[in-house]
Structure 1
């Protein structure tokens, strides 16, 4: 399955290989690397070199959330190196389950790394907010959650007690997309209860949201009316403004005009709510073949392809993204992967719209990307 929620790449995907980082006294901007016309050699030569002087200093004024996955170890390293650039780090560790008897359990607790958490937070104000996914819930489980206030309170209390026990600062909740746009009123009721409980406990609550519109102006799984029903109560929204294209219509991962539209649909005017929106920024890309195949790719795969195929990179002004054609024995691949220029364009858009950003996920990109944050 190519299109999935925030978990764009799963445990079966290739881990990003650690390359020896080379430190620089200058940022990528000072080195003249943020540009439309780039060559594959520019990337292979410079991608592991970041500015040591600014590695812990934010360039972007809005809130920044970075996801880290246990199947991509490089994310753990980047969170420690560049942690000062993030208000929130969200390790993708946890899944809440409901047993047939109604008891709640938390999967993924074995992935919790308290030593790493301590390193990330050391001398910083960075909050650790694990992403919690509702996993393997049946229709009966959701029916119980949506019809019984005791089940609602038990569920939220279980989550809160788990977070407190493990010294987390709050959570990033992913539940909206799991129901495919159904039961919206019941979800809103539940989400508002979560917000009340979390605020009483002085814990941060960020909600993952799908885009309100898809390719071809097709309506998304959430509307402005839905957003308005809980936007005042929640601390932030991780908006999934990526995965725009598909195997049917291959192309850019997040066309800039579509990203803008997603924000403006939910918050037409900047009345203070936009600062809660964390505009989604992908640090991964996609490879589309002319045989109808599609594959999500991370930095290591991208670097291998550049070195092996030496392709020409093309800047698409209308989308504000780079792509490349990779020649093969039979047919060609069309590869879209973020570049310094494409990331800078989206950071500039976030500044203009007065939003923050959320990155899926920080281990999948290239180290010199962090100079821009």
Structure 2
């Protein structure tokens, strides 16, 4: 706050006014002769005795001190110049705090020519009346991630827009011969699951199940033994039943790297059969079919897809995190995303089972060193407030990005809804109120501020009219 005159001068002026006020008040409240009464007995009403009509001198001084403070505050506010107030107001971007009567599409917010002011203004204002409406015919799987717990609230509000929710809770560990344990059960929130299912009828809760701390020896022993595989299936089914789950999103393919894929297909087939017998779902996380930055096939290709597609309920395709810290750039270039789908299923036989990974976060790169860090909703909005950057559109990659000085950084994030790939844009709008070194920074921006739910809408291309068709 700026002052137009020195503080000591202001204090002297206020002290003089205090003395004059004290004399006037003391004269007015002085009782007439013979009218003194007991102060406590007189004040039997709602007011406290120390603030009665006949206060003693210490109390009066306390009251006057309070009046002096009030007078001081009043005087201070009048010293802020109009020009200073305008400058302060110009640095603060406005934010809507109320719901909107229209969805973002009808408000003209799904555009490629973004402005930082518009994003900040609208990021909290979603259409509550449309919060439960679905615009996509295929399956939509949302991950609730530990690095952005706001996704738990997003799932409650927008649960009806999803068919599956996958909290990142559980790990599968091998403890010995035919001995398996599912850890992370302390994170399972039964109350949250009941609340989400109540809001979204038919929603399936399928936590991610990560094969954690498995050695090469563990994989070899399990994949070569039918008894081990059978015991693994029993353990997983028992946990699903006891915890009231609808199945699992299994993450194991990347852990094995390029070894024993034939045995892994055999194990996954048996695991899916065990889950299906218990009326549970089996979804597999798979790496991109085209290695990022190259034209080489990835670890999971059309060959493996054709073998597992008939037995699994879905494939969570990791079409994001394309660049590296050494080669910053788009998070998920559209041409690469399209290639990953086409390589897996060139004849569109099983595309309804491909859950396309759409990252709703950005990546912040420092130009002066090989470093990058993810940017989720709250930080993304704060960056726009602090730097008010010019947001640019990369038409080739189909992503937004902007540069800002910290001193030189770039942020990149894909804008999926601008290409018809994100059917439920209101999720992004409601989620944000929930995305050093020398030189500038680069930020690659994405599909809204990012709710902590990684959307993977299934490619039901004939029904959705998705651009990847």
Name the TM-score, length of structure 1 as normaliser: 0.86
The alignment status of 1:105 with 2:181, answered yes or no, reads: yes
The alignment status of 1:171 with 2:248, answered yes or no, reads: yes
Given that residues 154 and 451 in structure 2 are in contact (C-alpha distance below 8 angstroms), is that contact kept between their aligned partners in structure 1? no
Partner of 1:156: 233
Unaligned runs of 5+ in 2: 1-94, 436-447, 458-469
- How far off is 1:136 after superposition? 0.7
Partner of 1:225: 303
The alignment status of 1:66 with 2:142, answered yes or no, reads: yes
Partner of 1:7: none
Given that residues 149 and 452 in structure 2 are in contact (C-alpha distance below 8 angstroms), is that contact kept between their aligned partners in structure 1? no
Given that residues 28 and 368 in structure 1 are in contact (C-alpha distance below 8 angstroms), is that contact kept between their aligned partners in structure 2? no
Distance in 2 (alpha carbons) for counterparts of 1:269 and 1:101? 42
- How far off is 1:182 after superposition? 2.0
The alignment status of 1:210 with 2:287, answered yes or no, reads: yes
Given that residues 46 and 368 in structure 1 are in contact (C-alpha distance below 8 angstroms), is that contact kept between their aligned partners in structure 2? no
For residue 162 of structure 1, give the secondary structure of its aligned residue in structure 2. Answer: helix
Partner of 1:10: none
Distance in 2 (alpha carbons) for counterparts of 1:247 and 1:58? 37
Partner of 1:4: none
Distance in 1 (alpha carbons) for counterparts of 2:351 and 2:98? 37
- How far off is 1:101 after superposition? 5.3
Matches within 5 A, 1:198-347: 198-214=275-291, 215-271=293-349, 273-290=350-367, 291-329=369-407, 332-339=408-415, 342-345=416-419, 347=421
Given that residues 111 and 418 in structure 2 are in contact (C-alpha distance below 8 angstroms), is that contact kept between their aligned partners in structure 1? no
Distance in 2 (alpha carbons) for counterparts of 1:166 and 1:44? 40
Partner of 1:14: none
Given that residues 49 and 368 in structure 1 are in contact (C-alpha distance below 8 angstroms), is that contact kept between their aligned partners in structure 2? no
Distance in 2 (alpha carbons) for counterparts of 1:318 and 1:40? 21
Distance in 2 (alpha carbons) for counterparts of 1:124 and 1:149? 38
Aligned length: 338
Distance in 2 (alpha carbons) for counterparts of 1:232 and 1:96? 24
Distance in 1 (alpha carbons) for counterparts of 2:189 and 2:417? 30
Matches within 5 A, 1:40-189: 40-100=116-176, 102-122=178-198, 124-189=201-266
Q: Higher Cα Rg: structure 1 or 2?
A: 2
Distance 1:74 1:22, change over 3 A: farther
For residue 357 of structure 2, give the secondary structure of its aligned residue in structure 1. Answer: strand
Name the TM-score, length of structure 2 as normaliser: 0.69
Distance in 1 (alpha carbons) for counterparts of 2:206 and 2:452? 22
Higher strand proportion (structure 1 or 2): 1
Distance in 1 (alpha carbons) for counterparts of 2:126 and 2:252? 36
Given that residues 332 and 414 in structure 2 are in contact (C-alpha distance below 8 angstroms), is that contact kept between their aligned partners in structure 1? no
Partner of 1:355: none
Higher helix proportion (structure 1 or 2): 2
Distance in 1 (alpha carbons) for counterparts of 2:280 and 2:418? 32
Distance 1:69 1:142, change over 3 A: same
Distance in 2 (alpha carbons) for counterparts of 1:113 and 1:344? 35
Q: Where does structure 1 differ by over 3 angstroms across 4 or more consecutive aligned residues?
A: 19-22, 362-370
- How far off is 1:369 after superposition? 11
Distance in 1 (alpha carbons) for counterparts of 2:282 and 2:261? 19
Distance in 2 (alpha carbons) for counterparts of 1:155 and 1:233? 17
Partner of 2:15: none
Given that residues 151 and 452 in structure 2 are in contact (C-alpha distance below 8 angstroms), is that contact kept between their aligned partners in structure 1? no
Partner of 1:15: none
Given that residues 87 and 126 in structure 1 are in contact (C-alpha distance below 8 angstroms), is that contact kept between their aligned partners in structure 2? yes
Distance in 1 (alpha carbons) for counterparts of 2:253 and 2:192? 29
For residue 106 of structure 1, give the secondary structure of its aligned residue in structure 2. Answer: strand
Moved more, 20-29 or 256-265: 20-29
Distance in 2 (alpha carbons) for counterparts of 1:192 and 1:367? 34
The alignment status of 1:366 with 2:440, answered yes or no, reads: no
Matches within 5 A, 1:7-26: 22-26=98-102
Distance in 1 (alpha carbons) for counterparts of 2:310 and 2:222? 23
- How far off is 1:141 after superposition? 1.2
Distance 1:22 1:289, change over 3 A: same
- How far off is 1:103 after superposition? 2.1
Distance 1:186 1:161, change over 3 A: same
